[in-house]
Structure formats: C-alpha cells, structure tokens
Amino acid sequence: MPPTSSSAPKVRTIGLMQPLTWLVRAWDDMVRIGFASLAHGSVMVVAGAAIIALAHHRFWLLAGALSGFLVVAPVLATSLYALSRALERGEKADARVVLRTWLSWQNTHSSKWDSDYWCLVQFGSLLALAATGWVLTSAALITLLAPVPIQTPVDFIRHVVLAQDGWLFELWLALGGVMAAPLFASSVVSMPL
C-alpha cells in the first residue's frame, strides 16, 4: 500500500546558505573551546601522519589504513559533538568532556549488556569491516585490471590515475563512490545523534 500524504514523513528543507551557517557555528565552537578542540584535531592529524609515515611504501597497507581511518572518522568525531553539546547546554567544554566521551560512555547505561550499550562500538566495527571490504575489493579490481603490478602510491598514480588509455581509474572511483555513499549517509546522520 503506497503511503498517503498524511502518513509520509515531512521532509525539512534548508536554505542554500544554511551549511555555511553551520560551518561558522562550528568555527565559533572551536574558538570558544580552545585547547580541547585543538588537541583533539591535533591527535587526529598526528594519527593520519603516523599512518602515512608507517605505510607510505606499502601501497595496499596505506590504502587500507587510510580508508579505515576515514570511514571510522565519524566515530572519532563523537567527542567533538559532545564538546559542542556542552557549550549549547551552558556546561564547561574542556578536555574532561572528551575523556568522559571516550572513557566513560559505558557507565551511562544501567545494564552494561543492554542492546544499545555497545551501539557505538558496533557501528565503528561495522565501518571498519566495510573499509576492509573496500580495500579488498579495490585491491582485486586494481590487481586484475591494471596493466602492471601496483606496489607503491607512485605506481598507482602513474599507471592507474594518469593512464592515457582505459577507464580503470574512473571505474575504481565509481565503485568506491557506490560503496562509500551508504556508509557516509548512515554515519553522517547517526553519529551526531
């Protein structure tokens, strides 16, 4: 039975400039929070740099690590959401909020085995599993269709991205987009909630 107009959920619309307003508010939050916000961002930058430093000569390890890092990033950002929420409530937004978000979230549940207790961990694990699936799919696609073996990021750029003939890069990009879209859509909505 098709939904009637009264039973269908109402879609909220936003103005074209509304996302820019959100970015300005995020910048204001970052400035107001100060050290905790900058420290959180610095830790993420250092983690990304460490991934690149450790895996820069191992292409598939680098691809897997970066994919996993980017896919799990919405889970990592939960403490930033907590900092903004604390500001909105008029509470102190500092490093304790970040630590409480990461270390004490399980203490907020009456039963540690409720179905929602491990939801954040389960979602992060699902995202990590999806990233692993993408890396395996990507590796298989590139290994099977690339004209030469791809061992380093330079090989990938030279023989896949800058290839004059063939559509391997476009195919790889389209496949990645199709696989990433539902993950991004689910994480960008569910993590802030």
158-179, pLDDT tens digit by residue? 999 999 888 999 999 999 889 8
Is 37 exposed, middle or buried, given 0-12, 13-18 or 19+ CB atoms closer than 10 A?
buried
pTM of the entire predicted model: 0.59
Are the C-beta atoms of residues 83 and 98 closer than 8 Å to each other?
yes
- pLDDT band for position 107 (cuts 50, 70, 90): low
**Half-sphere exposure of residue 139: CA atoms within 13 angstroms, side-chain side:** 16
Are the C-beta atoms of residues 66 and 121 closer than 8 Å to each other?
no
**To the nearest whole number, what is the mean pLDDT of the chain?**
81
What is the Cα–Cα distance from 56 to 48, expressed in whole angstroms? Answer: 12
